């Protein structure tokens, strides 16, 4: 009798969370899905009439190009992050306890620093009369200042830079947990270092690499202010398109449809991630 009485009270504790989540998470998301099937009217309004025209509109070259551009940027960002972040996480995981603590701190500080501030630093470095051009000029490598800011490489730099900590931390956690005696055993049995790495280390750290890939790929699909600040308005990503349609364009149904497609892509990838690894790893990183 007594334990049951106790258990019944707990609904009071979860009630605010349930209420808030239903009202301000599930509600808005369902509403967005509904709007994506509504019909846009002149001005900022829309009409409730079931239509697929918002999705059909995305087949237009301009918008397809946006998706292609976003995907290309997200993929190159992720690939570069793997190439730079994996060795970093790997080397970090092989350090002694003190080295690990120091590196972890050094990685975390920029991670928690405002992304705007770090972008602003790149803005200063990359601008026409900025640090990078001055250094290159002084070294005699170039004669005229290069135009770096407001180009694709500048955006890519900003993206890779912003998301690298995710990759490093994901790889590091899996390298740290690894059982190194397996590698030693393989070496004792005559495997070359390269072979031991490929068959054992790489395979055991694959979940970490996977979660790093998803942790960088997912946000890079939606990030728009890096492209906006470092790329000028030349590179239009799905994110900037959504913002534009929502504010200046006044086409809410189309913005909702774009967001829905982006969200579905993201959710599918996250589901993949959840299956490939354990959710608790992600939670532990927060």
Range 44-103, binding other proteins (CB under 8 A): 84, 87-88, 91-92, 94, 103
CA distance 142 to 148: 13
CA distance 73 to 68: 9
From candidates 76, 118, 197, 204, binder to other proteins by CB under 8 A: 118
Give the tokens for residue 122. 């790149």
What character string, x for contact with other proteins (CB under 8 A) and - otherwise, covers 130-169?
A: xx--x--------------------------x--x-----
CA–CA distance from 238 to each of 106, 228, 257, 261 (Å)? 33, 12, 11, 10
CA–CA distance from 199 to each of 69, 108, 173, 191, 283 (Å)? 35, 31, 19, 10, 28
Q: Is 250 in the site for other proteins (CB under 8 A)?
A: no
CA distance 34 to 43: 19
Q: Is 283 in the site for other proteins (CB under 8 A)?
A: yes
The nearest distance, CB 181 to other proteins, in angstroms, is 18
Among positions 19-38, residues that touch other proteins (CB under 8 A) are 20-22, 24-29, 31-32, 35
Q: Is 251 in the site for other proteins (CB under 8 A)?
A: no
The nearest distance, CB 208 to other proteins, in angstroms, is 17
From candidates 67, 86, 122, 166, binder to other proteins by CB under 8 A: 122
């Amino acid at each position: 009798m007594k334990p049951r009485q106790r258990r019944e009270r707990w609904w009071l504790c979860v009630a605010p969370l349930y209420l808030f989540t239903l009202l301000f998470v599930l509600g808005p998301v369902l509403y967005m899905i509904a709007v994506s099937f509504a019909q846009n009217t002149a001005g900022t309004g829309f009409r409730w009439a079931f239509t697929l025209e918002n999705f059909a509109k995305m087949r237009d070259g301009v918008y397809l190009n946006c998706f292609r551009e976003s995907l290309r940027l997200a993929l190159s960002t992720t690939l570069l992050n793997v190439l730079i972040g994996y060795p970093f996480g790997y080397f970090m995981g092989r350090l002694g306890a003190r080295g690990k603590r120091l590196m972890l701190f050094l990685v975390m500080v920029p991670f928690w620093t405002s992304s705007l501030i770090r972008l602003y630093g790149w803005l200063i470095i990359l601008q026409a009369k900025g640090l990078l051009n001055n250094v290159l000029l002084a070294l005699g490598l170039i004669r005229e200042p290069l135009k770096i800011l407001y180009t694709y490489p500048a955006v890519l730099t900003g993206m890779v830079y912003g998301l690298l900590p995710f990759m490093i931390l994901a790889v590091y956690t899996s390298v740290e947990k690894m059982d190194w005696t397996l590698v030693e055993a393989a070496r004792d049995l005559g495997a070359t270092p390269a072979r031991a790495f490929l068959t054992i280390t790489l395979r055991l750290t694959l979940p970490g690499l996977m979660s790093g890939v998803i942790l960088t790929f997912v946000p890079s699909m939606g990030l728009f202010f890096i492209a906006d600040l470092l790329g000028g308005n030349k590179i239009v990503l799905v994110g900037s398109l959504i913002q534009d349609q929502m504010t200046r364009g006044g086409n809410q149904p189309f913005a909702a449809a774009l967001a829905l497609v982006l969200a579905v892509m993201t959710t599918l990838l996250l589901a993949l991630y959840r299956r490939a690894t354990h959710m608790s790893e992600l939670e532990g990183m927060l």
